[in-house]
Amino acid sequence: MPEIPLIQGGMAVGVSLDNLASAVANEGGIGIIGTAGIGMVMGGKGKNFRQENIEGLKKVIRSAREKTKGILGVNIMVALTNYEDMVVTAIKEKIDVIISGAGLPLDLPSYLSEDSRTKLIPIVSSLRTAQLTFKRWFKRHGYIPDAFVVEGPKAGGHLGYKPEQLTEPEFSLERTIPQVRKFTEKIKKEYGKEVPVIAAGGICDSKDVKRVFSLGASGVQVGTPFIATKECDADIKFKETIVNAKKEDIIIIKSPVGLPGRAVRNKFLEDVERGVKKPFKCMYHCIKTCNFREAPYCIAEALLNASKGDFENGFAFIGAEGYKVNSISSVKEVIKKLFEDMQ
């Protein structure tokens, strides 16, 4: 169990790597490495996409381990074409936690062996998806999730909702957390295992933390505020984009992978909106749902470019409350702000 009931959101491509994850782990939270595109981030040229990603993930996990004795995890999107490679590699590297969403990780426990120490946490957006995941894991693998991350519609990046659901009250954390908490209490009663409910999406300060705790959450997953820290692995220009973003700059985009996404408006996205195609050659086919033959741009390249500070050829994802982040601080200060007065 972490000292602080906090999971730092796994942010790819190149935003949360060994530096940020280890810094959060050193402060008593769970530090998460974003795995999507990790081979590209670590200098791969796309000549052997699968192997470059495996080696990239190994390198980042080992580097993070050298920097902390705390709890480390990885975020692995179900939608990745190399999902199995990333899961198997993380387990072999004895990662503490795998967090998995962007699709239902229905067979995630099948990758564990008897001596595996890795904990498994699915990301869910509703009671139904929590029930479905539990039922499949328990029936096929005899495995009960180690927690549920309940990600609401205010999260940054790719969202597990239809665009019209983002503003509907029934999909809000206020509605979903109590439902999932009731379900986990039933699991505890029937199977004797405590399954914490972790709230995610739009959590920026201690008021937000208190609010989701009052709804039944026992932990939080926080992403955007950690971008604007000295320890974050992204370029300073990426951090400044988050700090300078105003409420009206935060928009919902249609991602090439077929999901809505929340991002900071810039010229790159405005061009795309106007129908301008950004020519690219798909060297990776990294996301199963990406129609790369018709996509107006390569999302992997766009996110990688942004993480390196090139916003002419990329953009930044951000949470709905990201406009409240207005200075670059440290991981320690972000955690203090999240949990101050939490006696």
Of 85, 23, 90, the residue nearest 58 (C-alpha): 90
If you write DSSP's letter for every residue of 319-330 in order, what string do you get? -TTGGG--S-B-
Burial of 277 (C-beta count, 10 Å sphere; 0-12/13-18/19+) = exposed
Q: Running DSSP on this structure, what letter comes out for residue 114? A: T
CATH fold label, 6-234+325-339:
TIM Barrel (3.20.20)
pLDDT at 1: 77
Token pair recorded at residue 52:
């470059």
Token pair recorded at residue 301:
């390249």
pTM reported for the whole predicted model = 0.95
pLDDT at 37: 86
pLDDT at 100: 96
Strands 157-158 and 119-124: unpaired
pLDDT at 164: 87
Asked if 295 contacts 276 with a C-beta cutoff of 8 angstroms, the reply is no
User: Would you tell me the crossing angle of helices 127-141 and 173-191 to the nearest 10 degrees?
Assistant: 30
pLDDT at 279: 67
Q: Residue 191 and residue 223: Cα distance in Å, rounded?
A: 32
pLDDT at 46: 60
Asked if 161 contacts 171 with a C-beta cutoff of 8 angstroms, the reply is yes
Locate all alpha helices (DSSP H) within 82-146, ordered by sequence: 83-92, 127-141
pLDDT at 111: 97
pLDDT at 309: 97
Of 17, 22, 9, 133, the residue nearest 71 (C-alpha): 22
Token pair recorded at residue 289:
């749902």
Q: Where are the beta strands (DSSP E) in 215-328?
A: 219-222, 250-254, 260-264
Residue ranges covered by each domain of the chain: 6-234+325-339, 236-307
Q: What b/e sequence results for 76-109 when a residue is b if at least 16 CB atoms lie within 10 Å of its CB, and e otherwise?
A: bbbbbbbbebbbebbbbbebbbbbbbbbbbbebb
Burial of 5 (C-beta count, 10 Å sphere; 0-12/13-18/19+) = buried
pLDDT at 343: 53
3-state secondary structure of 74: strand
List the strands of the sheet with 157-158, edge to edge.
157-158, 260-264, 250-254
DSSP H or E stretch at residue 73: strand 71-75
Sites in the chain below the pLDDT cut of 50: none
Of 22, 118, 119, the residue nearest 62 (C-alpha): 22
Asked if 15 contacts 40 with a C-beta cutoff of 8 angstroms, the reply is no
